[in-house]
Structure 1
Amino acid sequence: MEKSLYLLLDIFSFLIPFLYSFERKHLYFIQYWKPYFTAIFIVGLCFVAWDVFFTIHGVWGFNSTYLIGVEFLHLPIEEWVFFLLIPYASNFIHYALLYFFPKPKLSAKTSFYISLILFVSSACIAFTNTDKIYTLCSFGLFAVVMLLQLCFRFKTFQRYILSFIIILLPFLLVNSWLTGSFTEAPVVYYNNAENLGLRVGTIPVEDFFYCFSMLYTSVLLFEYFKAKLHFRKA
C-alpha cells in the first residue's frame, strides 16, 4: 500500500468526478471528453517538459518509498498520471459549480482590477527572485497568464476565479499529502534554495500559482475547442 500511495492519490482524486461525468440528468460532462482531454493533454505536455527539467536539475524530486518504481524521462509514472487525472478532476469542480450555481460571478471591471493586481504583484516577485528558479518560473508564468487575461479579457475568468477558491480545498488536501503532512517523509520534496521558502502547511507557496496557471489555461483551451465543436454541429 505504501508503495502505491502517490498512484492511489491520483486515482481517488479522479474517480468520483469521473464517475459523475456520466450522470445524464444534469451536467453529463463526459459528452465533452474529446475537447476536454485534448486541452488537458496539450497543457500537460508543457508542464511535463517543465517537470522533467526541474527534476533533472534538482529543483524537486520524488521519494521512491511511495512510488511503484516505473519511470519514464526521469519522472515516475505517478507524475505522468497526475497531469492527466488531476486537471480533469479539478476543473470538473468548476463546471459542476457553473452548472448548479450559474449566477455568481465577478463583474468585468472587478475581474480586470484583480487580474491587474495579480499581474503586477506576480511579475514583481518573479523579477526580484531570478536566482530561485521555481519562484521565477511559477510566478513568471502566472504573470504571463494574467497579462493575457488583461489583454483579451476572457469572460471565463469572471467565474473561474471564484471556482478556484473551491478547487483549492481538495488541492490543499492532496498536495499536503504529497508534501509530507500525513507521511513520515514527503512524496514530493523540494530544494528550498530554488523557492521562497514560504509554505502553507507543507505546501510551497509557488505551488498555488503553478496550479492556477495549469488549470486555467486548460479551461481556456477547452472552451475554445468546445466552441469549435458546437460550431461544427450547428
Structure 2
Amino acid sequence: MTLEMNLEPGTIAIIQLAWSRRLGLDDEALAGSGARIYREDNAAPLLTFVSLFGREALVGPAWALDAAKDLSGVELARHSTLLSMSRTHGGRGLGEASLLFCDTLPSFPDEGPPVSSDPDDALALERLCPPDDVAEVGLSSMEHSCVLVDESSDPPLPLAGAGYDIWEGILAHVGALTPPDQRRRGRATYAVAVAVEEAMAAGLIPQWRARTDNVGSQRTAVRSGFVRAGTQT
C-alpha cells in the first residue's frame, strides 16, 4: 500500500499546495509526477531537499543545484550528503526529518487529565524536559498550545503538552513534549489528540516533522494517526 492511499486525495492536494508555497514554487509544482524540481536562490540561508508523495524538490544556491544533478533522491535525503555538498561554503547541518500528516479526527479515552492553555504551564513543562527536546519542539513559543496538568499538586504539575504553528495558512505544524518521568503512559498521545482536534476544527491539516533519529517522536506521531508522506533535509 502506498502512503498516498492512507490520506484523502483532497488532503494530499492541499499538502502539496502548502509545501509548494513554502518552498517558493508555483502552486501546482509538487502535484502529479515528473522530474525533480530545482529552484535557484543564491540568497537562500538554507539548502533544502524535500521529497513528498514521490515528488522531489531542491531549493538553494546555484552551486548546490549543479552538484545535485547527478545524485539520486535517496542520496540527497541524507543529511551527510547535503553537509558534504555545502561544507566548503560554510554549511552546517540542521538534520534529516520525516514528514507525517493526519486527516482523521482523533479518538479520546473516557477520561483524561485536565488541559491548560496557560503559557506559564508550557514554560513549567519545558523546565522539566531535556534542553534538546525543548529546542526541537519549541512548545512555549507556538501559536497554539495545550498542557496536561495534575491539579492534585500545588502548583499543578505539567504532565505533557502539545501545540502547533500555522504554516502557509493551511498546515498545523504539530509538536509534543513530555518529561522523561511521564513517558510511556500515553500522555503525549492524549495531548497531541487535543491539539489535532483543535487544528482540524480550524480547517487546518496537521503536520508532524520528526528527526529520523528521534524514534520516540515518530512513534508518537504514528500512534496519533499521522501517516508518513516524505522527508525534509
TM-score normalized by the length of structure 1: 0.27
Q: Which has the higher helix share?
A: 1
State which structure, 1 or 2, has the greater radius of gyration over its C-alpha atoms.
2
Q: Which has the higher strand share?
A: 2
TM-score normalized by the length of structure 2: 0.27
